Homo-oligomer: A and B are copies of this chain.
Amino acid sequence: MNRKATALDVAKLAGVSRSAVSLVLNGRGDGNVALESQQRIREAAAALNYSPNKIALSLRNQRSRVIGIVSDQVVTSPFDGNIIAGADAVARSHGFVTVVMDTELDESRDESAVETLLDRQVDGLMYVTVGLRPLHVPPNMARVPSILANCFDDRPEAGLPAVIPDEVRGGREAAEHVMSLGHRDIAFLAGDSLTPAAPRRIDGYRDAFKVAGMPVNEDRVIQVGWDIDAGFHGAMKLLDGVEPSDRPTAILCANDRLAIGVVLACYRLGLNVPEDVSVMGYDDEFRVAKTMVPALSTMALPLREMGEAAMTALLTEVEAVPNGKDDDGGPGASAGAGTEHTTSSQTMVPCRLVVRDSTGPVPAGR
């Protein structure tokens, strides 16, 4: 536990002044410091395993090269961690470090988490949520460049830029996938509407029917919950004791857990997947969708891409800010990093269809 070497230690060892050390180690040596001295300085630095004290640097430069990430429960829940992974990867590649604070879904901690991060002089802030949702943005986020990932500002007019998945399109493409396999009687099992993800995915499902010129049977859309048991009971309602000809031939689920429940119900009823009924998940949950029996066809959430896109946009703004000084006006109007659908500072990232073994051709005669 020795004290770390400082620039002064290096200077002493090399027999030069601190400023020389600073110049050389920051690449401004040539033309300012004798080559011989440069050499000695580099050797000394290596010998002492010197690296600059980032705290002192932050104080001096008025920028910390730290991005604060506030999450509602990304760290502590099993979901959506890849948003942070993507964000962190981009930050690292730009020489930034991310600091994550998880509020464990306690909204009263939002404000203080942001405050803490701000006190630590973060250069920018990102708010990440588990599941798409409107966010009551902590007001003090406006003090530095900020961005939202997987959530959007609940103030209708405008607010902070956001990166979210294109749920409507995801729902539509899921429906189109089974339609392309010949299915017509397609059920949609969704969670509650506490998150806009459910209604949006259902909207997409409806869009697919509209495009195909078919009417939507509203009885086939049921909102049950988000967990395995909800999927199980929802499927039972759809399938148990129902004439084969009255059964939906495909069941789309709003997440992979629901799909597990549906498959459990099918097996319990002696039905095979996908021979008797096709089942589709949503999310492509890590080590769940791929390892299910049968492996789940699903609509993958572009978590990593969302994190990457959000951080890229954020850093663009951070690096545009003069030098830490005042930046009144807030993070407004700067044109987003020309990605797909950027409407009113919301960037939509498309989901990815993943076809595995749980969806197949519609059974003969249906």
Please report A residues at the B interface, Cβ cutoff 8 Å.
1-6, 9, 47-49, 51-56, 58-59, 64, 66, 74-79, 81-82, 84-85, 88, 97-102, 104, 115-116, 118-121, 142-144, 226-230, 232, 257, 260-261, 263-265, 267-268, 270, 285-288, 291-293, 295, 325-334, 337, 339, 341
Given contacts A76-B82, A85-B104, A232-B293, 17 further A-B contacts (CB under 8 A): A1-B330, A1-B339, A2-B334, A3-B327, A4-B118, A5-B332, A55-B58, A55-B121, A76-B84, A77-B78, A78-B81, A78-B286, A100-B100, A229-B291, A230-B291, A257-B288, A264-B264
Residues of B within 8 A of A54 (CB): 119-121
Cα A67 to Cα B133 in complex, Å, equals 31
Residues of B within 8 A of A120 (CB): 54-55, 66, 97
Known: A75-B75, A120-B55. A229 touches B292 (CB 8 A): yes
Partner of A327, one of B1, B264, B333: B1
Those 3 A-B pairs whose CB atoms lie nearest each other, nearest first: A78-B78, A227-B291, A267-B267
Nearest-CB residue, chain B, relative to A331 = B5
Contact of B288 with A228 in the complex, beta carbons under 8 Å: yes
Contact of A332 with B286 in the complex, beta carbons under 8 Å: no
Residue contacts A-B, CB under 8 angstroms, 19 given:
A1-B326, A1-B337, A1-B341, A2-B143, A2-B331, A2-B337, A3-B325, A3-B326, A5-B332, A53-B59, A53-B121, A54-B119, A54-B121, A55-B120, A55-B121, A75-B84, A78-B285, A229-B291, A229-B292
Cα A161 to Cα B107 in complex, Å, equals 35
Cα A226 to Cα B286 in complex, Å, equals 13
Residues of B within 8 A of A332 (CB): 2, 5, 47-49
Smallest CB separation, A347 vs chain B (Å): 22
Known: A82-B76, A100-B100. A143 touches B1 (CB 8 A): yes
Smallest CB separation, A260 vs chain B (Å): 7
Cα A328 to Cα B54 in complex, Å, equals 23
Contact of B263 with A9 in the complex, beta carbons under 8 Å: no
Residues of B within 8 A of A330 (CB): 1-3, 5, 9
Partner of A52, one of B52, B75, B119, B287: B119
Contact of A260 with B257 in the complex, beta carbons under 8 Å: no
Residues of B within 8 A of A5 (CB): 330-332
Contact of A261 with B293 in the complex, beta carbons under 8 Å: yes
Residues of B within 8 A of A82 (CB): 76
Known: A51-B115, A228-B288, A260-B260. A328 touches B100 (CB 8 A): no
Residues of B within 8 A of A337 (CB): 1-2
Smallest CB separation, A8 vs chain B (Å): 11
Residues of B within 8 A of A270 (CB): 270
Smallest CB separation, A228 vs chain B (Å): 4
